[in-house]
Amino acid sequence: MSSHGTPIPMTSRKSGPLKGTAAVPGDKSISHRALIFGAMAVGETRITGLLEGEDVLDTAKAMQALGAEVTREGAGEWTVHGVGVGGFSEPEDVIDCGNSGTGVRLIMGCVATYDFCTTFTGDGSLRKRPMARVTDPLALFGTRSVGRSGGRLPLTLIGAAEPVPVEYQTPMPSAQVKSAVLLAGLNAPGKTVVIEKEATRDHTERMLRGFGAEVVTEKTPEGYNKITLTGRPELKPQEVAVPRDPSSAAFPVCAALIVEGSDILVPGVSQNTTRNGLYTTLVEMGADIAFENTREEGGEPVADLRVKYSKLKGIEVPPERAASMIDEYPILSAIAAYAEGKTVMRGVKELRVKESDRIDAMARGLEACGVTIEEDEDTLIVHGLGPDGVEGGGTCATHLDHRIAMSFLILGMASKQPVTVDDGGPIATSFPVFEKLMTGLGAHVTRNN
């Protein structure tokens, strides 16, 4: 279900060998940022390959509400006439970010250092997610906020009239929190500093440099990342070619690994070390993946992945890898059911505050499909049943979470009984062509009404 629609139950069942090319859509993180930075540049930014998923479309609307001109020119082709740093105007209505944590948290950063008021809301999932992790550091700039208990949406930000620059160490590994602080720092004088203990995706830093801001990343003596941004730059419009999304690529890649006889090509998968933890993990599990034609696309290192059906073995995923594959744990836990032995995922408590509590959602759905799991606050362990051992047959609750929906639909492509999800609608937030793309490879996935 999208923010306001009716649920769309979907079912997948044992599929023939998957063959062909899986060209997944544009990267969600980079798409949000291309629109936001375009809106803050002076002049016309051109974007190609933009992900036209609901999350990103909500960010496009928000940029319009703040005064930028955002136009769709063709499939994935967009232009943004930016207003320059300091140029946003007070939105006339509530900003609805739908299902998107990235959208709402980055846009909170954008408006935090403007002398005006912005009210945010979102769908039933987003209204449950914690926002104090962003409003706390924004308060250091002088921004005030009033939200529901626990800092939940709907929430109003009263921007700082005379912002001061900030130095902040993020208490959890979060690119959204880091980015919110850096974005607020754009309209503050002087240098804003963010320190992160564990490296998280670095698209904000890379792209802001591309738009002409001064952003310096150094290592502290303890080995932490220290990012220093010089405020009030003039951002120059760019041509942004959005690379494909490695988090979406994970679904056809993992499907090919568990569906017998599969052999697919997944072009342009990011090798950015802040994003590619899943691929390292899959290789350790014994996946037959060839990384071909390594090159640069849209400022990101990418490779074409040739993926073949593989006998997987369970492993212990190093906790320090978590940030680089945080959105991929649901699909990893699904295919871990097909491995020999157990797959241990520790240091993953951030999964509990995503679109759903992803540890709980995966645990309950896997159990409904005959898989034994163990969990605690920060851990998920899946006991693999081997390539032919997964029963399936469950109906899995997706809790308005696209990655949970897609993970269970992939699970059902190799299980003995079909797997149903109660609502595949949220898939449109990040991967609107999922069903078409998977069907095109030979997978059996259908809507039930």
Ligand X SMILES: C=C(OP(=O)(O)O)C(=O)O
Ligand Y SMILES: O=C(O)C1=C[C@@H](OP(=O)(O)O)[C@@H](O)[C@H](O)C1
**Active site (catalytic) residues:** 327
Nearest approach, Cβ of residue 357 and ligand Y (Å): 14
- 73 burial (CB, 10 Å; 0-12 / 13-18 / 19+) is exposed
Stretch of 94-102, 210-218, 219-227, 311-319 contacting ligand X, by CB under 6 A: 94-102
Structural contact between residues 187 and 86, judged by C-beta atoms closer than 8 angstroms: yes
Exposed e or buried b for every residue in 198-232, given b needs 16+ CB within 10 A? Answer: bbbbbbbbbbbebbebebeeeeeeeeebbbbbbbe
Nearest approach, Cβ of residue 105 and ligand Y (Å): 7
C-beta closer to ligand X: residue 337 or 405: 405
Q: Which of residues 82-101 bind ligand Y (CB under 6 A)?
A: 101
Q: Does 427 bind ligand Y (CB under 6 A)?
A: no
Is 403 labelled a binding residue? yes
Q: Does 240 bind ligand Y (CB under 6 A)?
A: no
Stretch of 13-21, 97-105, 182-190, 309-317 contacting ligand X, by CB under 6 A: 97-105
Stretch of 15-23, 65-73, 157-165, 173-181 contacting ligand Y, by CB under 6 A: 173-181
Termini Cα distance of the chain: 13
Q: How far apart are CA 126 and CA 153, in angstroms?
A: 7
Work out which of 26, 91, 101, 252 binds ligand X, going by CB under 6 A.
101
Work out which of 54, 327, 422, 423 binds ligand X, going by CB under 6 A.
327
Which segments of 173-287 are extended strands (E)? 191-196, 215-219, 225-230, 239-241, 263-270
Is 28 labelled a binding residue? yes
| Stretch 324-343: interaction string toward ligand Y, x if CB under 6 A | --xx----------------
C-beta closer to ligand X: residue 102 or 262: 102
| Stretch 350-389: interaction string toward ligand Y, x if CB under 6 A | x---------------------------------------
C-beta closer to ligand Y: residue 297 or 391: 297
Exposed e or buried b for every residue in 348-369, given b needs 16+ CB within 10 A? Answer: bebbebbbbbbbbbbbbbbebb
Length of the chain: 449
Distances (CA, A) of 281 to 169, 194, 382, 394: 28, 29, 15, 27
Residues 6+ apart with CB under 8 A from 164: 140, 141, 142, 188, 189, 190
The entry of ligand Y, ligand X, none that residue 100 binds, CB within 5 to 8 Å by partner kind: ligand X
Give, for 42, the enclosing helix (H) or strand (E): strand 42-48
- Count of residues in contact with ligand Y, rule CB under 6 A: 11
Q: Does 426 bind ligand X (CB under 6 A)?
A: no
In the numeric block, which tokens belong to residue 173? 């590994």
Query: Which residue ranges make up the site for ligand X (CB under 6 A)?
Result: 28, 100-102, 327, 354-355, 403, 430
Binding residues for 3-phosphoshikimate: 28-29, 33, 174, 176, 327, 354
